[in-house]
Amino acid sequence: MKFLNIDLEITSRRRPAKLLADFAGQVLVLHDGKVVGGYLTAVELCSCPKTESKVLARILSLLAGLSKEGRAELAIAKIKRLDFGYSKAKGERCEHTFKPAVLRAISDLGCELAFTIYED
């Protein structure tokens, strides 16, 4: 199984404009629009390091650097999800572990953890 990227997905009642402004130039916006039940914003890093630990560290750094307004938008979001993307060969077993520090960092943000696995 090969690591691809991590998407940060935020579902809220309204568009997190301040958060997006704080992220300007550092993320690629994958989706930014209305969905059933609210507003979905999904982003990934513009330049993706090779390892999930480095990508996660950069995302955590971006979140730590949010303005007061950006932090407030994140705090009131209905759903905050970090979606780890992987690719795998057909028939390859999907197995992965995370160190406790990674799980703690995700939990401390109040984020859900998700996996998307693409078959080659």
Give 83: exposed, middle or buried? Use CB within 10 Å, 0-12, 13-18, 19+. Answer: middle
> Regarding the domain delimited by 2-119, which CATH topology (the fold level of the hierarchy) does it fall under?
Alpha-Beta Plaits (3.30.70)
Listed in order, strand segments (DSSP E) in the chain are 2-12, 27-35, 38-45, 79-88, 112-119
What span, in angstroms and rounded, lies between the C-alpha atoms of 62 and 15? 18
pLDDT (tens digit, 0 to 9) for every residue of the chain, 120 residues total?
899 999 999 999 999 999 999 999 999 999 999 999 899 999 999 987 888 888 988 998 999 899 999 999 999 999 999 999 999 999 898 888 888 988 888 888 889 999 999 988
Q: What's the pTM value of the predicted model, to 2 decimals?
A: 0.90
What order do you get walking across the sheet with 2-12 strand by strand? Answer: 27-35, 38-45, 2-12, 79-88, 112-119
